[in-house]
Amino acid sequence: MKLYRFLSDDDTSAFCHKVTAALNKGWELHGGPTYAFDGANGVMRCGQSVVKEVQGTYTPDTRLSDH
């Protein structure tokens, strides 16, 4: 099955570490990153889609972070 996750965080090194951790667990980038200004908090936010092929059958109970 193919899994999909959207990672997001403030535009800091924490976001880069989150994406790097996913890549090192076998996730692959899907498209380019996104950036948006969070006016409520006054910060830039980043997002990145990642995908991964794994064994099994998808159900809504599938814990994406376990893969």
pLDDT at 65 (0 to 100): 80
Q: What is the pTM of this model?
A: 0.86
pLDDT at 64 (0 to 100): 86
- The answer to whether residue 28 scores a pLDDT higher than 90 is yes
**Which amino acid is present at 51?**
V
Distance CA 46, CA 44 (A): 7
pLDDT at 66 (0 to 100): 80
With a CB cutoff of 8 Å and minimum separation 6, the contacts of 62 are 3, 56
DSSP result, the chain: -EEEEEEEEESSHHHHHHHHHHHHTT-EE-S--EEEEETTTTEEEEEEEEEEE-SS---TT--GGG-
